[in-house]
Structure 1
């Protein structure tokens, strides 16, 4: 089946042989999937011991990996900003966010939650975090597990 996705429309061209096969049972439902593999536009890591640090888009030193939860006895959080303009006007039935845990505070891991929040910018710090709007889910993984 041929699928063409443009900014204006999604065009699906069903396979002729598929539709004319005498064994085909109708009705036939054609529901194409669209996979958008967009990435983060911005990020910021905030950490309790450094409540006024501005870590917007920093990747140097310990900020080379994003942080979530307990680490060394203190709490860290990472916020992301995605450019979803390609999805504007689309109906989204399901969305997944895939992450890999590089290192967990304990071998058992612990729950990592995903929240929709207010916007982030250079002024986002531990003392100035965006408002938490909705819990979108959680997962429990430990070291180097996808």
Structure 2
């Protein structure tokens, strides 16, 4: 079991400063953090300080003991997230893009994209391979999938779907997509266009 705080990256600090001082660019050149996501309740950001938490069994009760160095640290940035759940992080990812149907975007150092981009006439889907090794032999009662939405084309909410698919690889392209097996959930949101809908966590799927 782990916990983490919210020290931002330099890129996140720059984005926050620009978002307060100017509207997002309409030509798609709005600033975007490429050096890691901010800390959320589901995972730590790139620069976040982390610590393992001790556990104690008291009769039939499992007690989780937070790390005091993080809770009381002079350079700790709140909020601090205490995470008693098991997390399966991203192992790999890819994007498929309808405008360039034979181009592979395997593990590219860029933000994931989903949906139709009106001004560029582009259509993207992003796919993830998640680490589920820690769940082997476990009875999973409930799971969530959560993302940080950095940029939208407007503040008007649009539906985004979550699907279970077949395996992805470095040869995954628009023409060579995995099977789309099951629709799991949909969120209706828009964030990252400007002060009226700043970048932030999407409502979790699941």
The TM-score range, normalised by the shorter chain, is 0.7 to 0.9
Following superposition, the deviation at residue 142 of structure 1 comes to 1.0
Following superposition, the deviation at residue 100 of structure 1 comes to 1.6
Aligned length: 118
Counterpart for residue 96 of structure 1 = 144
2:196 is aligned with 1:145: no
Counterpart pick for 2:116 among 36, 57, 70 = 70
Counterpart for residue 39 of structure 1 = 89
| Distance (Å, rounded) in 1 between the aligned partners of 2:58 and 2:162 | 34
TM-score scaled to structure 2, two decimals?
0.53
Counterpart for residue 113 of structure 1 = 161
* RMSD after superposition: 2.1
Tell which deviates more after alignment, 34-43 or 118-127.
34-43
Which runs of 5 or more residues in structure 2 are unaligned?
1-53, 62-82, 192-198, 202-206
Preserved contact between residue 67 and residue 76 of structure 1 (Cα < 8 Å): yes
> The residue matched to 1:86 in structure 2 has which SS?
helix
Counterpart for residue 53 of structure 1 = 103
> The residue matched to 2:200 in structure 1 has which SS?
coil
1:42-76 Cα offsets, whole Å, 9 max, x none, are: 000111111011111111xxxx1000001222210
Mark the structure with the bigger radius of gyration: 1
| Distance (Å, rounded) in 2 between the aligned partners of 1:37 and 1:86 | 8
- Alpha-carbon distance change, 132 to 3 in structure 1, aligned in 2, over 3 angstroms: same
Name segments (4+ residues, structure 1) moved above 3 Å: none
1:85-125 Cα offsets, whole Å, 9 max, x none, are: 11011111110011121111232131111100000001100
Which runs of 5 or more residues in structure 1 are unaligned?
5-10, 16-32
